[in-house]
Chains A and B, each alone.
Chain A
């Protein structure tokens, strides 16, 4: 069975590292990108089942990128990550499949990803 592929997009190196290790532990194939442009380049080369996007990024921000990806890859699961909590109800519904506030505890993020991939 082909492994499920996840792309982690975040400008914080340590966060990319943390997330990719945590998700690999769950058995997914993980790649990372530090900004929107790098992410779109990766999409040109391979298919992903799910992306996590940090909203606050230099260059194109996460919401913009989510919009582009949603249009290009309708089946793609998109999870938006943010340090803020107030975007949650505004944006998740249309741009992303889930919206997760960053936290020291990554359980919520992992549960959300698992749930989305089972659907």
Chain B
């Protein structure tokens, strides 16, 4: 048993133990030889190495003898156990060769210890492999795995160095290493076609080289193993294992052997598995992560969609609220409230500009939002509370809009302010191209100078400008911002705004159209009412006029008449309208016939005191025939005949005249007495004096003259009084040319005028012949001209004028005498009113009687700046 222990010791401690020498001494003693060497067979080199001797110690470990050379020794004992060559004994000159027992013991010991070590190795390696498995399981990622992997391989295989090159596309790239650092490599990456790598790639079970050379590492290689990590589809990489670390004890072999390679192979399979598992895990983790991300983004999407839906719902509410109002102002307010309310889209501020078509600009309308950042949370909280008290947001907007006074606050800053959009970098695009423009902070910065106006107004870096588009055109522009909260404006908001912009545009347009329509309707209604009112009014006036009004057209047909006409003609209106004017009897035919003259002349004709015999007896009318011009005033469509029944008036006038006459008579009797008393006194007086002085021829002559004058005077007075008091006498009517008569009278009076140095001028216009009593009119003319001569001072002037006035002629006699007082003028036509010392005082009263009573004319007196003018007018055609 001593031998077994010694062998075990040698294998554990190696050459530094003396165990093998002890055994050699023992065998040498037993063989009684000169010396004894113990050699162990190193199978992979097919050589025997001296590990112990009783002789010279120098040979131990260094003397190696191959199988053939061994035969040269005289005494060699082979150490064999269980058919396995384990070593040999070299004996020099042995004397005793009975060594079987000791040789057997040594052989068995060698075999067993070898076996033991081998088993121990295997068990150790499998244990390490187990450890490797743990490493695989414990590695959470590939990187850690790669680092751990090379460590474990080195430990398991007792390798000095382990390098892992990973295949990446067409290259092998250094990935991890044990025993050396990355810096020691000559190159980190190499093409897969590199001879070494391509050789390893093809070697399924790996390669094993002793004392080979490698070009990527400058170290001496005692032994080398390399193996590809292969899955079915691809090569993951290559593991290179270098230089086995020698154990302390003796080993028959110090480089990597087939067993090591098989272990490496085993390891490579596990590593591949572990690697792919990790890869798979990582992929899985990635997939899970991806899935998780998908879920997350999906959830975000859902959230966004929900938000979007919520906003769309708001849009719907806002649109509904806008549609509920037909007042543009309310629609504006509703829209802005919807955009700024926390329950709505929640923008801080909303500015509305309305397009003015005429000036091609935008005009500030409403700006809703807090004026400053102070206390806005309070304001918003308050507004929120109100908003939340409504179940229906739409309802809230409608009511809030009605209550909202949008004219205050921010609105004051922009109300009526004009923004020219032409050539404005933002507004023009919005208005003309109907584009929504989102000015982001970066955009604002880059456009800073060109949109200075907007930036100054808004004092924000981010805002949205939205066109409000109607059916045909842009109606206005909305500008939204988050001045106070600085909340960024999101793409989702923009989408919602796009929709609301369209719907708001239509709502505003509708409201505007409605407003316009309402105004138009209102004005039409008013016009209609006014027309109706005026029609009724004028109809009522027409119907209730005491004047009979009848309209006759060019063909002589009655086209309109009033109630008075019905009464007058004794016919209902239906019978009157459409009838010819000749259908109402001779009397009316005569009246209406005058109307036809108006068509020729185009002038109004007036006839006064027209006497008509009607069924109700004698009536008097003042008639007027006026042309009814068309709207352009170019053609006469008809003639309006008005018949004013002045019968009553006429009768009153007659009565008044009669009464006046009576009064005049009363007064006249007194005046007559006066007028007569003077001549009578004179006559009586001088008759007395004549009697007294009858003998005096001179006195007699004088008194008789006086008496005859006074008698003549008396006669004149009496005859004039008679004449005046007489009723209208029978007139001798003839047609005559008045101008001729005037010339005749002027000729008669010329002498008298010449005596006073008075000039008589005549300005006679052509006149138609008139129907008058020649002598009576001559008397009037004589009277008036004589009066004029008498009233005119020396070298004065008398002007006689005639003119036609429609159906009348007017004669006026002007004198430059002293103007007469108003008082006198008033009584000038009253009998005996005269102030002159001659005449009877009946001249003018008689003229009045002739002109007015006998000829249906008129006589009057009027003061002129430089004299007095008497005038009279006479109808051309005598009435009945």
Contact = CB atoms under 8 A, between A and B. Distances in A.
Interface of A: 11-12, 14-15, 17-19, 21-22, 56, 58, 82-84, 86, 101-106
A18 B837 contact: no
Contacts of A19: 685
B673 A83 contact: yes
Pairs A-B, 4 closest by C-beta atoms = A104-B684, A83-B674, A83-B677, A18-B685
A56 B710 CA distance: 18
B741 to A, nearest CB: 32
Contacts of B688: 105-106
A101 B682 CA distance: 13
Q: Kindly name the residue among A11, A22, A101, A102 whose own CB sees the greatest number of chain B CB atoms within 10 A.
A: A102
B678 interface: yes
B673 A104 contact: no
B682 A12 contact: yes
A49 to B, nearest CB: 22
Given A104-B680, A105-B684, A21 B709 contact: no
10 contacts: A12-B678, A14-B709, A15-B685, A58-B835, A101-B677, A102-B678, A102-B681, A103-B680, A104-B684, A105-B688
B89 interface: no
A48 B683 CA distance: 28
Given A11-B837, A83-B677, A103-B684, 17 more contacts: A12-B678, A14-B682, A14-B706, A15-B681, A15-B685, A17-B706, A18-B685, A21-B689, A22-B685, A56-B674, A58-B836, A58-B837, A83-B674, A83-B681, A105-B684, A105-B688, A106-B681
Contact of A84 (B674, B683, B835): B674
B673 A84 contact: yes
Interface of B: 670, 673-678, 680-689, 706, 709-710, 835-837
Contacts of B689: 18, 21-22
A61 to B, nearest CB: 11
A104 B680 CA distance: 6
Nearest to B673: A83
A102 B706 contact: no
Contacts of A105: 684, 688
A18 B686 contact: yes
A106 B691 CA distance: 14
B723 to A, nearest CB: 21
Most A-side CB within 10 Å, residue of B670, B677, B678, B681: B681
B670 A84 contact: yes
A15 B682 contact: yes
Contacts of A106: 681, 684-685, 688
Given A58-B836, A58-B837, A104 B683 contact: yes
Contacts of A58: 835-837
Contacts of A18: 681-682, 685-686, 689
Given A83-B673, A83-B677, A104-B683, A14 B836 contact: no
B686 A14 contact: yes
Contacts of B835: 58
A17 B699 CA distance: 12
Contacts, number: 58
A3 B687 CA distance: 28
A50 B709 CA distance: 30
B710 A14 contact: yes
A19 B709 CA distance: 17
Contact of A102 (B677, B686, B837): B677
A95 B670 CA distance: 22
B685 A104 contact: yes
A102 B674 CA distance: 9
A101 B670 CA distance: 13
A83 B282 CA distance: 159
Contacts of A17: 706
A18 B687 CA distance: 10
A96 to B, nearest CB: 18
A38 B835 CA distance: 17
Contacts of A56: 674
B851 to A, nearest CB: 26
A58 B824 CA distance: 12
Nearest to A81: B681
Nearest to B684: A104
B501 to A, nearest CB: 102
A86 B677 CA distance: 14
A15 B673 contact: no
Contact of A15 (B675, B676, B678, B709): B678
Residue of A14, A56, A58, A105 ringed by the most chain B CB atoms within 10 A? A14
Nearest to A59: B835
A82 B837 CA distance: 16
Residue of A11, A18, A58, A84 with most chain B CB atoms under a 10 A cut-off = A18
Contacts of B837: 11, 58
A105 B688 CA distance: 8
A19 B835 CA distance: 23
A56 B832 CA distance: 12
A64 B676 CA distance: 24
Nearest to B835: A58
B343 to A, nearest CB: 105
Contacts of B680: 103-104
A103 B670 CA distance: 15
A14 B687 CA distance: 12
A83 B678 contact: yes
Contacts of B678: 12, 15, 83, 102
A32 to B, nearest CB: 14
A11 to B, nearest CB: 5
Contact of A103 (B681, B686, B687, B710): B681
A12 B678 CA distance: 8
A108 to B, nearest CB: 11
A114 B17 CA distance: 220
